[in-house]
A and B are shown apart, each in its own frame.
Chain A
């Protein structure tokens, strides 16, 4: 078959399509070119290990004298992060820089005269190459995604079900990455418990999965910004095991920083790194992060994700309406949009999926009026629907009048009780915890802090979300078209999925 055959066949398409296209009135779009950022997610996880006995320092993982600063600067300057960079105080403490996979830049169309045949063809070649490479990266995680759902399920039940009428959000992917790194520095029963929670048979499976998820969800090419970053914050003078640290650098792209734990400079550097990697969204939360002189190692994991709605909400259509909270009403700005799309029905909720430009989706789950939002969270149908990718029996194709409140919500909570409830007990007990892969003389080390914070902001352009987790360890321590309204004016759930389908954020909005 030749392209001309297709061109000729196109000539004979149904006359209705020809007539309709000629008469088509397109939706008004006030914004021309979509620029780039709409949904932003960032996370950090930190693991600190305290160690009283200073070992003999070896290799690059050790710093011979407290207070000495090494100056290998990481090249972590993701697009869009510069304004949030609080001075890059962390750079002075860097000893290893993370290497990030090269992303082919999104082709700059201004370089091409599209109405020239040759340049038009060149542009498409570049665009096709970009698409192909991006697709290759996204496809990396494909075989691992199914295995994540039990983890999503457990953590969702643990962290989103609440008797309090407060907003709650967390990042499953960030938590997964943080715990994956935790598995690298633990052994014995401690590691077994982490692997069990992650749903991985062994450490190799964790590595493969984490590496694939990292590759699939890392993108900084001028069109899509989805940046994951990990780091190690190490106390000077500690005899870290080089192989483990190297694995964290190789598999998890972890940068390494070394300094005096508990010092103002090192704490400031740590906050600075977190603040930068979360795009400044969790600036207030990062201010509370401390390094402790008893801490031996902190593991930090972040993700910053940005995208825009595929179909932006018109600001002119935004108006004040009432949101019916569980404990009273509140007036807030509701965005409105009419979409031809699919509405999914669960046993006690309805759901729609809003596409994010060149990225994943934002799923919105509206509990039935008779259902409590916690009931819906407990219902595994939420994740089943996301997992199905929309291949769902109970759905209708409809003209949907969406009313979505603008919101900016933050969650900041301690993970310890939740992690314990999910079977991670040994790492919190200094007698039971096994951190032998991390450093020599690891007796008495345990996780003393595990925190997670998240932030999601939704507006007409898209959504902005951020979250962090802190784990600190110290020693001693076919379808008919219908019309329907989808009005999210009572507590609802949302999920943000990445380009590969991995769940980046899950949240409950009790009050926009």
Chain B
């Protein structure tokens, strides 16, 4: 079913909307959640919560890119769940790794933590992504948005892991420089 038709079902408050969404995007959202949580049951719950959240947001929202709209919800819910469980969990999928990597870009300066406007930061990230070459942008998003393991990413891109890591590292360096230029405090 076309995305626009599914969205229409949400607006009509038809529960068929959730069934259609699950059928079309269930695997997609589950893979996003699973990369974060590394637990099938947890991921399944997050995906179900995603449908509920979508139900709550439509209406009034009418997303232009339905898949990304759902994916964002799944990722958010999964990260929150990860955070709650992190005290109990060891390892914890790719989140710990990604946080370690992102540490390169954004640790606080001195003892004073900087208040961050997430909207501004997101705008900056969008500018950063726009300027990246297409392939690098995909790599960045797959790693830091989808939390693809490097091994999986390398296989998907047909590159060696070292090359993927090097590209990611260069992009993180570029991002750090951009954040510094824009006044974000970076170690």
Interface residues of A (CB under 8 A from B): 1-22, 24, 26-30, 32-34, 109, 114-117, 120-121, 123-124, 127-128, 131, 340, 358
Contacts and interface: CB of A to CB of B under 8 A. Distances in A.
B79 to A, nearest CB: 7
A21 B145 contact: yes
Contact of B68 (A4, A5, A19): A19
10 contacts: A1-B108, A1-B114, A2-B107, A3-B102, A13-B126, A21-B137, A26-B157, A114-B151, A115-B97, A120-B100
Interface in B84-127: 91-92, 95-108, 113-114, 116, 118-119, 121-122, 125-126
Given A13-B129, A114-B150, A19 B67 contact: yes
A421 to B, nearest CB: 44
Contacts of B67: 18-19, 22
Interface stretch (B8-16, B54-62, B158-166): B158-166
A131 B69 CA distance: 38
B92 A9 contact: no
A18 B143 CA distance: 11
B65 A15 contact: yes
A18 B72 contact: yes
B52 interface: no
A14 to B, nearest CB: 5
Contact of A17 (B129, B156, B163, B185): B129
A15 B169 contact: no
A18 B100 contact: no
Given A1-B185, A11-B76, A6 B121 contact: yes
Q: B interface, by DSSP: helix, strand, loop or mixed? A: helix
B184 interface: yes
B169 A127 contact: yes
Given A2-B106, A24-B138, A114-B150, A14 B129 contact: yes
A2 B108 contact: yes
Contacts of B118: 5, 8-9, 12
B115 to A, nearest CB: 9
A123 B69 CA distance: 34
Interface string B126-165: 1001000111011001101110011100001111111101
A120 B69 CA distance: 31
B71 interface: yes
A19 B134 contact: no
Most buried by B among A11, A27, A116: A11
B99 A340 contact: no
Given A18-B72, A20-B138, A340-B134, A28 B158 contact: yes
Contacts of B185: 1
B114 A34 contact: no
B129 to A, nearest CB: 5
Contact of A3 (B64, B99, B138): B99
A27 B150 CA distance: 17
A34 B161 contact: no
Interface residues of B, number: 66
A12 B186 CA distance: 21
Given A11-B76, A114-B151, A1 B68 contact: no
A12 B158 CA distance: 28
A9 B122 contact: yes
B178 to A, nearest CB: 12
A109 B69 contact: no
A21 B67 CA distance: 12
A18 B68 contact: yes
A3 B97 CA distance: 11
A115 B102 CA distance: 16
A28 B126 CA distance: 27
Contact of B106 (A3, A33, A128): A3
Contact of A18 (B97, B116, B145, B159): B145
A347 B156 CA distance: 42
Given A1-B184, A13-B145, A116-B91, A26 B135 contact: yes
A109 B151 CA distance: 12
A21 B133 CA distance: 12
Nearest to B28: A22
A18 B135 contact: no
Given A1-B116, A32-B160, A127-B169, A6 B106 contact: yes
B30 interface: no
A5 B64 CA distance: 25
A173 B68 CA distance: 52
Nearest to B132: A17
B134 A5 contact: no
Contact of A10 (B137, B144, B149, B166): B144
A128 to B, nearest CB: 7
A17 B129 CA distance: 8
B158 A29 contact: yes
Most buried by B among A6, A14, A120, A123: A6
B100 A124 contact: yes
B106 A15 contact: no
A501 B174 CA distance: 19
A123 B162 CA distance: 11
B68 to A, nearest CB: 3
Contacts of A121: 97, 100
Nearest to A30: B158
A21 B79 contact: no
Given A5-B116, A7-B144, A109-B162, 8 more contacts: A9-B118, A13-B126, A19-B67, A33-B161, A33-B162, A114-B150, A124-B101, A127-B165
Most buried by B among A10, A109, A121: A10
B77 to A, nearest CB: 11
Contact of B137 (A5, A17, A28): A17
Nearest to B152: A115
B182 to A, nearest CB: 11
A18 B129 CA distance: 11
Contacts of A9: 116, 118, 121-122, 125
Most buried by B among A2, A9, A33: A9
B91 A21 contact: no
Contact of B122 (A4, A12, A18, A131): A12
Nearest to B173: A131
